[in-house]
Amino acid sequence: MRFPLSTPLAVPAGTLAAGPQPTLTAGDLVLRPWQDDDASAFLAAYQDPEIRRWHTRRPASEEQVREWFAFYHRAWRQETAASWAMTYDGGAMVGRMVLGGMDLGDGVAVCAYWVVPAARGAGLASRSLRAVSDWALGAAGFHRLELDHSTRNHASCRVAVKAGFRPEGTRRRAAVHADGPHDMHLHARVRGDD
């Protein structure tokens, strides 16, 4: 059961779903909605040990990947999440960017990302995160974006800070990875941050 808010929604219901999920750009970087022909590259990305280490939900087949893509498209229409393929000039997928857990009432959402091994080290994740957060805190109307990562995931921490997400603290034993519970660093970017 959902109880009505005494305050207006920060992001009015229907605002996002009124149009298609946007394609975002940052120079030669294009973030676009997922397409069925991304399935094999998406599945292959989850064979990478680093992606497997930090992301505990993994597709088992291309068919399951296409089910995930269908879920991503429904989530956009339901205004609960958006997921993009990171690409160079709209071509082959080199990473994933997510804006999930959308709370339209408070104007808060959660970011997550990964990059395939061949594209790491070029600033792709931080540029993508900056593009998504600029859109979310601007045109989309959110007030606050959060992300967390294992305290052992130093690369993700660098991405967050470089994209303007300030560290806010540590959530103790907040996520379970293959090797057990991890403490998680919490970062946030709010409207008005540079």
Q: Is residue 137 part of a domain?
A: yes
* 3-state class (DSSP) for residue 81: coil
Query: What is the predicted pLDDT for the residue at 69?
Result: 97
Q: Is residue 13 part of a domain?
A: no
Q: Is residue 44 part of a domain?
A: yes
Query: What is the predicted pLDDT for the residue at 9?
Result: 86
Helices (H), 35-188: 39-45, 49-54, 62-77, 124-137, 154-162
Q: Convert the pLDDT of each residue in 89-139 to its tens digit.
A: 888 899 999 999 999 999 999 999 999 999 999 999 999 999 999 999 999
Query: What is the predicted pLDDT for the residue at 87?
Result: 95
Q: Is residue 82 part of a domain?
A: yes
* 3-state class (DSSP) for residue 24: strand
CATH number of the domain residue 127 falls in: 3.40.630.30
27, pLDDT greater than 80: yes
Q: Report the range of poorest mean pLDDT among 54-58, 114-118, 140-144, 186-190.
A: 54-58
Q: Is residue 39 part of a domain?
A: yes
Q: Convert the pLDDT of each residue in 71-103 to its tens digit.
A: 999 999 999 999 999 999 888 899 999 999 999
| Domain encompassing residue 131 | 24-190
Q: Is residue 139 part of a domain?
A: yes
Q: Is residue 9 part of a domain?
A: no
Q: Is residue 176 part of a domain?
A: yes
The number of folded domains in the chain is: 1
Q: Convert the pLDDT of each residue in 32-66 to its tens digit.
A: 999 999 999 999 999 999 999 998 889 999 999 99
- pLDDT confidence band for 172 (50 / 70 / 90): very high
Q: Which of 98, 92, 113, 88 is nearest to 44 (CA)?
A: 92
* Model confidence, pTM: 0.93
